């Protein structure tokens, strides 16, 4: 269904990178093809996912949320219960193990909110790899706690003050670092985006979310879900959740982009809904840009969704109509967050709160026999300062 010819998903994806990176991407492609079918590698990965990350994560029936919405039965896939608090560790650990196999001793990564940075710093400490993380200077200020965590874990955090000093600029700087240190360094990209083979590698390391969900729901309900909902930053937790269901036509797939202060204000991060096709960070994808092809800053209350593009496989799923992409504003996400706190005693990450809000509305339109699964990509502890500020408090 989603073809991978030359790293393409339909007309999206590709390898739009400087020539210096091409050989490294081909090496990575070959190395990944090898480990993909190498049982000792997969065994090692499973060992760490189980004993270190704490998988499998529960698929939890949210009974009070279900009652409140009075529609479909709502289940939560609890990625928030992973070590380090989000799905990001699935990919960071997989790629760190891959880097070891490739004989690379140094890791570079980018981070926005700091979740991927913390996950990568964690995997590097575990596997004794040297790690450097680039982070926009604006985000360093906003996410001081995660900067401190990364440093405790032995990672060097470098603030990027160029461009808009946010996630996209951190990706630029991580790519530059990789080009310059290509011999001994692997780049652990944090979402299902970037040049081939990254979108495929990240999806494969995240598909554990969907694979577990599929087995769990069949065990509990003996029935596939009618709808699956996940939030979209670059698109990794969502593609990980969607992928094992793509061939199951009866399962509706919903991705939720960040509408920020509202699509009409222009201050949002909804690349599929509000962008046009273009090339950034190695891939042809939907992109927030102006009429000159200059990339525009994304805006979202959640730093993890604050990215102007979206992974190429989602662009393709959108184009062929297999998945549906909605969007949720900052304010609505806060409503979703409060709803989950109040009904289930779970504080979701602001990113995941977008999925919660969208799913709650969707559930209301469905019947009590229907099943809806929300990918709860992370927990909200990292966001308490932002939340308190948005709600008029003064924790921050």
Task: Point out which residues bind other proteins (CB under 8 A).
Answer: 6, 14-20, 22-24, 162-163, 168-169, 172, 175-176, 179-183, 277-282, 287, 289, 291-295
User: Per CB under 6 A, which region of 62-70, 112-120, 125-133, 211-219 contacts ligand PLP?
Assistant: 112-120
CB 184 within 8 A of CB 105: yes
In the bound state with ligand PLP, the residue whose beta carbon lies nearer, of 155 and 370, is 155
In the bound state with other proteins, the residue whose beta carbon lies nearer, of 292 and 394, is 292
Rounded to whole angstroms, how far apart are CA atoms 338 and 313? 31
Q: Give yes or no: 236 in active site.
A: no
Encode burial over 106-144: b for 16+ CB neighbours within 10 A, e otherwise: bbbbbbbbbbbbbbbbbbbbbeebebbbbbbbbbbebbe
Q: What is the CA radius of gyration of the chain?
A: 19
Q: How far is the CB of 140 from other proteins (least distance, A)?
A: 19
* SS3 (DSSP) at 13: strand
Q: Give yes or no: 164 in active site.
A: no
Q: How far is the CB of 206 from other proteins (least distance, A)?
A: 25
Q: How far is the CB of 243 from other proteins (least distance, A)?
A: 25
- Residue 328: alpha-carbon gap to chain centroid: 16
363 touches which of ligand PLP, other proteins, none (CB within 5 to 8 A by kind)?
none
**In sequence order, what E strands does 89-201 have?**
106-111, 130-136, 156-160, 185-187
In the bound state with ligand PLP, the residue whose beta carbon lies nearer, of 2 and 237, is 237
Q: Which two tokens stand for residue 343?
A: 């009904």
In the bound state with ligand PLP, the residue whose beta carbon lies nearer, of 235 and 326, is 235
Which position among 153, 231, 241, 258 is part of the footprint of ligand PLP (CB under 6 A)? 231
Q: How far is the CB of 121 from other proteins (least distance, A)?
A: 23
Q: How far is the CB of 135 from other proteins (least distance, A)?
A: 16
CB 396 within 8 A of CB 249: no
377 touches which of other proteins, ligand PLP, none (CB within 5 to 8 A by kind)?
ligand PLP
Which position among 59, 62, 99, 113 is part of the footprint of ligand PLP (CB under 6 A)? 113
Which position among 8, 78, 116, 186 is part of the footprint of ligand PLP (CB under 6 A)? 116
In the bound state with other proteins, the residue whose beta carbon lies nearer, of 172 and 361, is 172
- Tell me how long the chain is: 396
Residue whose tokens read 């969704």: 305
Q: Which two tokens stand for residue 127?
A: 């596997």
- Give the up-direction half-sphere exposure of residue 108: CA atoms within 13 A in the CB hemisphere: 21
Residue whose tokens read 């309900």: 221
CB 62 within 8 A of CB 356: no
The DSSP line for 317-368 is: HHHTTSEEEEEEEHHHHHHHHHHHHHHHS--B-HHHHHHHHHHHHHHHTS-T
| Residues binding ligand PLP: number (CB under 6 A) | 22
CB 381 within 8 A of CB 113: no
Sites for ligand PLP among residues 350-389 (CB under 6 A): 351-352, 377-378
CB 130 within 8 A of CB 106: yes
C-beta atoms surrounding 50 within 10 Å? 11
- Point out the residue whose Cβ comes nearest to ligand PLP: 378
Q: How far is the CB of 5 from ligand PLP (least distance, A)?
A: 24
Q: Give yes or no: 3 in active site.
A: no
132 touches which of other proteins, ligand PLP, none (CB within 5 to 8 A by kind)?
none
In the bound state with ligand PLP, the residue whose beta carbon lies nearer, of 15 and 300, is 300
Catalytic residue among 73, 77, 88, 104: 88
Catalytic residue among 79, 300, 377, 382: 377
Residue whose tokens read 């962008």: 275
Catalytic residue among 56, 79, 110, 173: 110
In the bound state with other proteins, the residue whose beta carbon lies nearer, of 225 and 278, is 278
Catalytic residues: 88, 110, 377
Q: Which residues bind ligand PLP (CB under 6 A)?
A: 86, 88, 112-113, 115-116, 191, 231-238, 304-305, 349, 351-352, 377-378
């Amino acid at each position: 269904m989603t073809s991978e010819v030359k790293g393409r998903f339909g007309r999206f994806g590709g390898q739009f990178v400087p020539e210096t990176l091409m050989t490294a991407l081909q090496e990575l492609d070959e190395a990944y093809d090898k480990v993909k079918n190498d049982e000792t590698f997969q065994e090692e990965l499973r060992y760490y996912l189980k004993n270190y990350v704490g998988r499998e994560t529960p698929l939890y029936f949210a009974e009070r949320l279900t009652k409140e919405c009075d529609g479909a039965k709502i289940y939560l896939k609890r990625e928030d219960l992973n070590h380090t608090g989000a799905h990001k560790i699935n990919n960071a650990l997989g790629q760190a193990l891959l880097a070891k196999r490739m004989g690379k001793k140094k890791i570079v990564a980018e981070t926005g909110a700091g979740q991927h940075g913390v996950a990568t710093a964690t995997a590097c400490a575990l596997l004794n790899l040297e790690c450097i993380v680039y982070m926009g200077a604006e985000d360093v200020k906003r996410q001081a706690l995660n900067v401190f965590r990364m440093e405790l874990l032995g990672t060097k955090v470098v603030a990027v003050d160029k461009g808009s000093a946010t996630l996209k600029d951190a990706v630029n700087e991580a790519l530059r670092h990789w080009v310059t240190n290509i011999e001994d360094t692997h780049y652990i990209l944090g979402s299902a985006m970037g040049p081939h083979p990254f979108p495929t590698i990240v999806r494969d390391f995240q598909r554990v979310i969907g694979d577990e969900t599929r087995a769990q729901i069949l065990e509990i309900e003996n029935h596939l879900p009618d709808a699956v909902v996940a939030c979209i930053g670059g698109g990794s937790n969502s593609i990980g959740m969607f992928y094992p269901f793509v061939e199951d036509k009866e399962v509706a797939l919903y991705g939720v982009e960040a509408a920020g202060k509202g699509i009409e204000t222009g201050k949002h991060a909804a690349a599929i809904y509000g962008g046009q096709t273009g090339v950034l960070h190695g891939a042809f994808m939907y992109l927030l840009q102006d009429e000159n092809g200059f990339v525009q800053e994304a805006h979202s209350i959640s730093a993890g969704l604050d990215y102007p593009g979206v992974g190429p496989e989602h662009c393709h799923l959108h184009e062929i109509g297999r998945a549906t992409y909605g969007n949720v504003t900052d304010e609505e996400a806060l409503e979703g967050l409060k709803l989950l706190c109040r009904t289930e005693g779970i504080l979701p990450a602001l990113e995941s709160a977008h999925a919660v809000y969208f799913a709650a509305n969707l559930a209301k339109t469905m019947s009590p026999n229907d099943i809806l699964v929300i990918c709860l990509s992370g927990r909200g502890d990292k966001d308490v300062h932002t939340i308190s500020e948005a709600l008029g408090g003064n924790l921050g």
